[in-house]
Structure 1
């Protein structure tokens, strides 16, 4: 039973994340409950609930097993918590089924595949600020919204105003029960899973390029990967000026297999722009870094510094070998009888001249390298 619940939890978590994607600012944690009621042919149970802290699934419930499957069993012995959890599930299920029926009647929909969803949860800032939010949708269309300022529900379907008193009856329930329970539960999860939920993993940044299409077009891609938490700011600049958003192809923040995330941003550069020699920069901000990180790419790269450096090292090595050889020969000659002093001097002078020529060539090569840099 638990295996089935965990599998459903993973699958449904993906669907709910695709449905409700929000950027949580650094220093803020959230607990969201995603509730979906389905009628008609569907691979899911009639009622499915998923609880997620930030982006980590922590609870799962469906109308088939009728039990809450937590990520861990921290609350198993807490009878008070279990009681309020059962009350919340029962009240929420009855309320949503009632509104689901009203919506189907209002839009004159037959019993085919339809969905009614509620997204409700709380956010907690590092400074202790609390927020509670909730929203209902019918077949993907927003129909009900919880106003956190006035603690009231507002119908987004004018024809459904007849449910005003029903909506108002839940005002005190959300303010006095659901919001405090949500914040308390969030704090508990943050404490128990602090090694996962409060970790900070620095992103790895790369600027990639590849030929696309014809006429010399190049696609420049900024890739940020391996970071956690998922909130990240990535911008692309051309000569230190932000590239207009309409020119960019911005991907979604996608999960990696190790619990971290990745984000891609691409820009198509024409052959004419390449000839102009612009400098493109990928700028990244993330909570794991004290300052922003800039990675640059030049459309007209400089000569290969690695090759120049290798040539310089080779030249210097040659000089050292020649000087070493001269020193060894000098020692040997001094030990051979019959060698004239003048002959040794002439040979040494010739070798020194040769060495000076090699050194001069090496110095010229190093000077060329400095000028090109």
Structure 2
């Protein structure tokens, strides 16, 4: 379970591209050993929206929200079945080499690969990434810089580097001529198809709240809360007398899904009664849906209804992550060798 949950840490990385930019990712997980899951599973995601799934049992691409009797025709160019079949073979081969290196004969082992690229906020092609991981540990990372036509390959386990493969392959040329342009092409194409979902802007609901702590502490918790916003990128800042509170004093700050393709974030600070009396606390939010920075002052009453709702949402989010993690889906900000 620990190996699988690690995948969601990687997913958060994959979704953290710069504000205003967009990304296309293909991610696959190969599981060696007896489990109730398919040996190989993969996803296609546009930003944080999943629109395609493949596994080794079905051996065909399944498109989310598209039913066989819907009448919608999938372009042959958009059918990633062949790509995932090839990726399945490559991952199987790499996993076998690593298994042999570590002399693993029993148990369950997981090999993961993700590939993707970014389109920056001025429609300029951004970088492309690849990451391979084995049992939750990074094996190799490729970073292709399109601006300088430069490829950096970082082997985390240099003593098992596949030198014959890397020596016969001109990786910078393949990234420049094939992998990167193909990825950017499909990214732009899917942005047009899914623009109503991906390019929507939903304004955050922002509140600054105060909750009294137990009597023995004599203090309070000040919480800056933003919820129901999209896209996921938001700058949420808690301030004391107009100055940002240091990060090491803040708790929270994690981005959580609401289940309706919007997100929430909260940042909290515990203060003494004296601090609360002598300092002025405010909260600011910057988001693509807002024309200007939003500044909120402290409310004296804690909204218990909001607390209950958010606790439920958080519990659901954690449950979804654990279920997804159990399925062994990787997602992390990295890109793989693109060969549609």
Q: Under TM normalisation by the shorter chain, which class is it?
A: 0.7 to 0.9
Corresponding residue for residue 243 of structure 1: 245
Corresponding residue for residue 146 of structure 1: 142
Corresponding residue for residue 361 of structure 1: none
State the Cα distance separating 1:37 from its structure 2 match.
Answer: 0.6
- Pick 1 or 2: higher relative contact order, CA cutoff 8 A, min separation 6: 2
Corresponding residue for residue 76 of structure 2: 79
Alignment gaps of 5+ in structure 2: 301-340
Is 1:101 paired with 2:102?
no
Corresponding residue for residue 205 of structure 2: 204
Q: Distance in 1 between matches of 2:166 and 2:107?
A: 27
TM-score (norm 2): 0.76
State the Cα distance separating 1:90 from its structure 2 match.
Answer: 3.0
Q: Distance in 2 between matches of 1:134 and 1:296?
A: 44
Corresponding residue for residue 319 of structure 2: none
Alignment of 1:41-120 (within 5 A): 41-71=34-64, 76=73, 78-82=75-79, 85-120=80-115
Distance 1:43 1:15, change over 3 A: farther
Distance 1:261 1:170, change over 3 A: farther
Q: Distance in 2 between matches of 1:266 and 1:129?
A: 37
Q: Secondary structure of the equivalent of 1:21?
A: helix
State the Cα distance separating 1:248 from its structure 2 match.
Answer: 0.5
Is 1:291 paired with 2:292?
yes
Corresponding residue for residue 336 of structure 1: none
Question: Cα RMSD (Å) of the superposition?
Answer: 2.5
Q: Is the 8 A contact 2:61 2:81 kept in 1?
A: no
Q: Is the 8 A contact 1:279 1:298 kept in 2?
A: no
Distance 1:170 1:103, change over 3 A: farther
Q: Distance in 2 between matches of 1:263 and 1:80?
A: 38
Corresponding residue for residue 271 of structure 1: 273
Q: Secondary structure of the equivalent of 2:12?
A: coil
State the Cα distance separating 1:292 from its structure 2 match.
Answer: 0.9
Which structure shows the higher helix fraction? Answer: 1
Is 1:32 paired with 2:33?
no
Q: Larger Cα Rg: Structure 1 or Structure 2?
A: 1
Q: Is the 8 A contact 1:16 1:34 kept in 2?
A: no
Is 1:137 paired with 2:133?
yes
State the Cα distance separating 1:38 from its structure 2 match.
Answer: 0.8
Corresponding residue for residue 12 of structure 2: 21
Alignment gaps of 5+ in structure 1: 1-13, 300-373
Q: Distance in 1 between matches of 2:144 and 2:10?
A: 21
Q: Is the 8 A contact 1:137 1:144 kept in 2?
A: yes
State the Cα distance separating 1:77 from its structure 2 match.
Answer: 5.1
Distance 1:167 1:87, change over 3 A: farther
Q: Is the 8 A contact 1:26 1:231 kept in 2?
A: yes
Distance 1:17 1:196, change over 3 A: farther
Corresponding residue for residue 194 of structure 2: 193
Corresponding residue for residue 231 of structure 1: 233
State the Cα distance separating 1:215 from its structure 2 match.
Answer: 3.0
Corresponding residue for residue 166 of structure 2: 167
Give aligned pairs, total.
Answer: 283
Distance 1:79 1:57, change over 3 A: closer
Q: Secondary structure of the equivalent of 2:183?
A: helix
Q: Secondary structure of the equivalent of 1:148?
A: strand
Q: Distance in 1 between matches of 2:276 and 2:42?
A: 52
Q: Is the 8 A contact 1:32 1:52 kept in 2?
A: yes
Q: Is the 8 A contact 2:252 2:268 kept in 1?
A: yes
Q: Distance in 2 between matches of 1:170 and 1:109?
A: 32
Distance 1:294 1:124, change over 3 A: same
Distance 1:204 1:133, change over 3 A: same
Distance 1:153 1:90, change over 3 A: farther
State the Cα distance separating 1:71 from its structure 2 match.
Answer: 3.2
